[in-house]
Amino acid sequence: MKLKYLLFLPLGLWACKEEKPVINEFENNSIQNLELTEAELYQKVLGAIVGSAIGDAMGAPTEMWSREAIRFDFGYVDDLDSMVREPSPEGTWKVNLPAGGTTDDTRWKELTYQYLSKQDRKELSSKDFANEILNRYTKAIDHYKEIDSFEPEPYEENTLRVAWLQEWAKVAKPYTENNLDGYGNALGKFYGGEMVCAGLLYAPAFGVFYPSNPEMAYAEAYKLSVFDIGYAKDITALSAALTAQCMKKGVTQPEILAVLRNTDPESYFKSRLVGRTSWRIFQNARHIVSEARTAEKPLEMAFELLDKNLQDMPFHAGEIYLQVLTAMIYADFDFQKTMEFLVNYGRDNDTTAAVAGTILGAYHGFDKLPQGQCKKVMEVGKKELDIDMEQLAKQLTSKIIALNNRGE
């Protein structure tokens, strides 16, 4: 990465040394109902987890920035960088995080993977998932009672953990109580009633849980998209289906993209007068890439065409989805090029890169991701943010193996 000012250098990049990846504790045993071996499954699970964190960490220093501002302060972003930004509930929880630090996009994946690792059946419960969120929220509230300090900092830090989930808790509580009026009212006011990318923050993780089964991944993600409204539910479910398809051994790019048309259990294509909005977004992404590739400056043209499709909110589900698909197709599913496309475009770039990072991390597997970046996000996640990505991958891989081998 080229930085414009020397003031960034003291906080600059860690040495990007290509090192041997983590030791794979899983063997080449076959898994019932899957073409993957245990070792291959672990590579894909870890790839999805770490790939998402890399995308999140690459976008975090410039989250919500315009691309002009990104160019002015950072030049062209092609690697991880440290973060000089105020802590916030949806952003970083610490100031001056080193390169590899992440935001709520990674926290949501961690929460979801923890939830999935505790499941005894493949079929999930939306109320159980809502309770998982409520439990995390109430635990943060209860922690105030354990703080014994005159200084404000511990209270301020805990407030970030409470505020992170407060909008979600308002929806989750009436949902778990079967209070339909309360749930409908809360959902209508969720983040101001905008069609935010709620499910996209966590749903790609469901695809990891259902390797090679995009239909089930879609169905379960759709069922648990209780914070989404409108066609955002379809987009949420498709993100899980794409990830599940990428977990398939030897899957081709056309087979992955075919999921966007062939997986429609809720019959969105039959929607009267409207049809399937997610399909039109995909077609738009294809047209943008096709037109950009004929331009003298393809990347700039792709960015300009995306600009014509901006929503009021950068975290609108449709906008996020369009940018993710455009980037992956433009980069021909190359992990690094996709991350660079999304991060340098700006807008909600940590979320777009985290969604694409999960999908492509599952597609390529951990060993084929940039190992210097993998090392950084894993180290910072564990040391600074209490997120052990290796442990999450081991737990989830073991759970998937157990459920498949017993015929679940």
Provide the whole-model pTM.
Answer: 0.93
The CATH class of 28-125+203-405 is: mainly alpha
Q: How many CB atoms lie within 10 A of CB 230?
A: 11
Kindly give the confidence (pLDDT) of every residue in the chain, 408 residues in length, as a single tens digit, with 9 standing for 90 and above: 444 333 333 333 333 334 444 446 799 999 988 999 999 999 999 999 999 999 999 999 999 999 999 999 999 999 999 988 889 999 999 988 999 999 999 999 999 999 999 999 999 999 999 999 999 999 999 999 999 999 999 999 999 999 999 999 999 999 999 999 999 999 999 999 999 999 999 999 999 999 999 999 999 999 999 999 999 999 999 999 999 999 999 999 999 999 999 999 999 999 999 999 999 999 999 999 999 999 999 999 999 999 999 999 999 999 999 999 999 999 999 999 999 999 999 999 999 999 999 999 999 999 999 999 999 999 999 999 999 999 999 999 999 999 998 876
Query: Three-class SS of residue 97?
Result: coil
Radius of gyration of the chain (CA): 20
Q: By the 8 A CB rule, do 227 and 168 touch?
A: yes
Q: Can you tell me the distance from the alpha carbon of 31 to that of 201, in angstroms, rounded to the nearest whole number?
A: 29
Q: Can you tell me the distance from the alpha carbon of 381 to that of 43, in angstroms, rounded to the nearest whole number?
A: 19
pLDDT at residue number 408: 62
pLDDT at residue number 24: 62
What stretch of H or E contains 37? strand 34-37
Query: Three-class SS of residue 7?
Result: helix
- Single-letter amino acid code for the residue at 301: M
Closest CA to 219 of 137, 319, 123: 123
Q: Can you tell me the distance from the alpha carbon of 48 to that of 321, in angstroms, rounded to the nearest whole number?
A: 18
Closest CA to 350 of 361, 359, 360, 339: 339
